[in-house]
Amino acid sequence: MNTILKKKPLKLLLFCFIVLFIPKIKAQNENSLLQDSIIRMDTNDKVVWDMSFSLKTMNVFRGLLPSKAPVFSTLAGVKYGEFVLGFYGGASFNGGYSETDLILMYYKPKYNIRLDWYYNYTQGITNIPTPSGFFDLNPEITRGILDFMVNVQLTKHLDLTSSTFIFGRDRPSLAEDDANDILLRRGEQRYSQYINLQYTWKLKNTKIQAHAGYSFSWNDIGGPSFYGNKPGFNDLGVSFYKTIIDTKNISIPFKASIYVNPLSNDVYLVGSILLLDLIKV
């Protein structure tokens, strides 16, 4: 530790400054293991690992708002050959939101296939009041959701993502329980589907991404899904990335995003500071 302090005092000072003071200035869950480049896919090394730390003004997920309070999150991943294992952890400053995710991915330059296990500890996030454990796979009580995703790079600028909730708490409460205000049992799996089309522009030190997300339920095509009470566009948005610090050892981009959810008539403006490649400091 003393050696590191002697060799790189300015980088450590910069890191401490950002962690301690950025929250006061204000600084979404996206699990963007590849998009925000914490796993460098252009390396020739067989095994690559890295991690990142983010500060966000709020947590927006596909047009939904898991946390309206500022959030700090950590993302870590290891790549072995074409396989990636990652973890996400996030919590709000006020303690109202807490989430841990497990990420498994098969990566190719033109496409990737992944499974994410989202586990949200937040009070009131489901009709089951008490968390039953990260590895509880009983769909009647678990707070977890298993998300099967496929991302395809259609062109240099255009990406298509498909997400299907195939297991977990994507189940509505039963109608008879709603009528009696019980809300402790769940109905059938909705298999909520989310399709996102994203276009990316890259400039010198800036990246712009525009996306449109549409959702529906495979169990009831015209009925409610996890994202809303009917099928429709639930996630329209534009994000701007600008690197504010970029050196050989550390990269700090700022991200500003606006999200519109026509299904719920909500609009969110989110700012994020992403601290990347901290293991090199």
- Among 50-54, 232-236, 246-250, 269-273, the minimum mean pLDDT is found in 246-250
* Per-residue model confidence as pLDDT tens digits over 174-203: 777 666 666 666 888 999 999 999 999 988
| Residue 183, Ramachandran bin (φ over 0: left; ψ between -120 and 50: alpha; else beta) | left
Query: Which whole number is the average pLDDT over 166-181?
Result: 80
Residue 243: which pLDDT band, with cuts at 50, 70 and 90?
A: confident
Query: Which whole number is the average pLDDT over 254-277?
Result: 90
Q: What number of residues does the chain have?
A: 281
φ, ψ of residue 222 in degrees (nearest 5): -95, 5
| Distance separating alpha carbons of residues 92 and 24, to the nearest angstrom | 14
| Distance separating alpha carbons of residues 275 and 15, to the nearest angstrom | 9
Q: Which residue has the higher pLDDT, 86 or 252?
A: 86
Residue 153 to residues 69, 116, 204, Cα–Cα distance (Å): 33, 20, 22
* Per-residue model confidence as pLDDT tens digits over 201-212: 988 778 999 999
Residue 31: which pLDDT band, with cuts at 50, 70 and 90?
A: low
| Distance separating alpha carbons of residues 76 and 250, to the nearest angstrom | 16
Q: Which amino acid is at 65?
A: L
The 3-state DSSP composition of the chain as helix, strand, coil percent (nearest 5) reads 10, 50, 40
pLDDT at residue 141 in the model: 85
H or E element that contains 5: helix 2-7
Q: Is the pLDDT of residue 44 over 50?
A: yes
Model confidence, pTM: 0.80
Measured CA angle at 260 (ends 257, 266), to 5 deg? 115
Q: Are 46 and 80 in contact (CB under 8 A)?
A: yes
Pairing of strands 251-261, 71-80: unpaired
pLDDT at residue 32 in the model: 58
